[in-house]
């Protein structure tokens, strides 16, 4: 199977190009073209081989969730002219990611396990076990790092540093809670629990937009709803639906992104396994069968679809 490792287009009207860990972003005067490649990252490292259909999975899950939440907050998405492409409103991104947690998992659990009861200025109650549900979801924002790791930050620090003004931040909190409630309801309909996730927002003409992807396996953590209570009572690990399986494979091979560690070999069999798992994620999230796009010449297919959209946009 062919996979999309990167793109290098020269599109008419293009003003800038940025390559992130996973996405190739082409800037234009009024909009962005965001291409979800098949690159895969873990521990802030891009792995050497792409995963077939991963970009399509992420792009289509994000598009579905943006469509389902546009009644809550305006979002940046204008069109998806190709299975790997999202085109949307160009915004000035807020320098903070709005992380919201419904359960004590991941980073919050590691802080809690080490004796901390306050994370990002938010108090966590005593007596919880890993993966227990919080009395109500908590917002634990982080800074947005262009390189390296994002850092925890408190609401007061955000306001004191002038990263976001008070009125906008209050609105971001309201949007974050409402989006999480909608995401939770959508997950439950598919037999899933939305454990935690992050949202990014930006401004365009003083209007706040939801930007980037939402509720995807790369930006969110999910548990299976069936058996959750029983596993908690028995002190068992929760069955997860996210890209955590990739991290666990890397850890089992002695890699966590630390200096001196080597990325384990990505055999064809391992790549197929990861690809099939992402397709399983798509079908679990959406309840729909995954329709594999034509991969005979991915870069040409994507370019032609983008050019056709640009032509129609200008008319």
CATH of residue 198's domain is: 3.30.470.20
Q: 264 pLDDT exceeds 90? A: yes
| Number of domains within the chain | 2
Q: How far is CA 153 from CA 98, 140, 141, 210, 279, in A?
A: 10, 7, 6, 20, 35
Q: What percent of the chain has pLDDT over 70?
A: 98
The pLDDT, as a whole number, for residue 217 is: 83
Q: 301 pLDDT exceeds 80? A: yes
Q: 197 pLDDT exceeds 90? A: yes
Q: 148 pLDDT exceeds 60? A: no
- At residue 172 the predicted structure's pLDDT band, cuts being 50, 70 and 90, is very high
> Which stretch of 67-71, 100-104, 283-287, 302-306 has the lowest confidence by average pLDDT?
283-287
pTM above 0.95, yes or no: no
- At residue 244 the predicted structure's pLDDT band, cuts being 50, 70 and 90, is confident
Domain boundary among 188, 214, 233: 233
The pLDDT, as a whole number, for residue 149 is: 62
Q: Do 85 and 192 fall within a single domain?
A: no
CB neighbours of residue 46 within 10 Å: 16
> Which stretch of 5-9, 117-121, 238-242 has the lowest confidence by average pLDDT?
238-242
What is the distance between the alpha carbons of residues 124 and 113, in angstroms, rounded to a whole number?
12
Q: Do 33 and 129 fall within a single domain?
A: no
Is residue 150 within 8 A of residue 142, CB to CB? The reply is: yes
What is the distance between the alpha carbons of residues 232 and 101, in angstroms, rounded to a whole number?
17
- At residue 289 the predicted structure's pLDDT band, cuts being 50, 70 and 90, is very high
Element containing residue 101 per DSSP (H, E) = strand 96-103
Averaged pLDDT score across all residues of the chain = 94
- At residue 279 the predicted structure's pLDDT band, cuts being 50, 70 and 90, is very high
Q: Do 59 and 119 fall within a single domain?
A: no
Could you give the residue ranges of the DSSP H alpha helices within the chain? 54-69, 106-113, 155-160, 166-189, 228-233, 244-252, 268-286, 298-314
Q: Is residue 199 included in any domain, yes or no?
A: yes
Q: 222 pLDDT exceeds 80? A: yes
- At residue 315 the predicted structure's pLDDT band, cuts being 50, 70 and 90, is low
Q: Do 74 and 144 fall within a single domain?
A: no
């Amino acid at each position: 199977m062919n996979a999309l490792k990167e793109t290098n287009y020269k599109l008419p009207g293009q003003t800038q190009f940025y390559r992130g860990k996973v996405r190739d972003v082409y800037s234009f005067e009024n909009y962005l073209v965001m291409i979800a490649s098949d690159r895969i990252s873990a521990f802030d490292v891009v792995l050497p081989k792409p995963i077939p259909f991963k970009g399509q999975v992420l792009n289509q899950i994000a598009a579905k969730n943006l469509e389902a939440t546009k009644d809550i907050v305006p979002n940046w998405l204008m069109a998806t002219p190709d299975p790997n492409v999202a085109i949307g409103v160009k915004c000035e991104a807020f320098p903070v990611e709005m992380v919201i947690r419904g359960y004590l998992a991941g980073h919050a659990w590691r802080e809690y396990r080490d004796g901390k009861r306050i994370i990002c200025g938010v108090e966590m109650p005593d007596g919880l076990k890993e993966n227990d549900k919080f009395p109500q979801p908590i917002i634990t924002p982080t800074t947005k790092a262009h390189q390296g790791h994002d850092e925890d930050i408190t609401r007061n620090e955000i306001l004191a540093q002038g990263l976001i003004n008070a009125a906008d931040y209050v609105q971001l909190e309201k949007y974050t809670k409402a989006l999480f409630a909608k995401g939770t309801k959508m997950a439950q309909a598919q037999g899933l629990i939305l454990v935690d996730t992050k949202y990014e927002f930006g401004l365009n003409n003083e209007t706040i937009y939801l930007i980037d992807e939402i509720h995807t396996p790369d930006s969110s953590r999910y548990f299976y709803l069936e058996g959750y209570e029983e596993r908690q009572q028995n002190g068992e690990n929760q069955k997860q639906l996210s890209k955590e399986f990739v991290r666990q494979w890397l850890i089992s091979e002695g890699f966590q992104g630390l200096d001196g560690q080597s990325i384990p070999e990505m055999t064809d069999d391992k790549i197929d396994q990861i690809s099939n798992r992402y397709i399983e994620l798509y079908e679990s999230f959406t309840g729909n069968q995954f329709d594999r796009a034509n991969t005979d010449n991915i870069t040409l297919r994507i370019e032609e679809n983008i050019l056709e959209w640009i032509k129609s946009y200008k008319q």
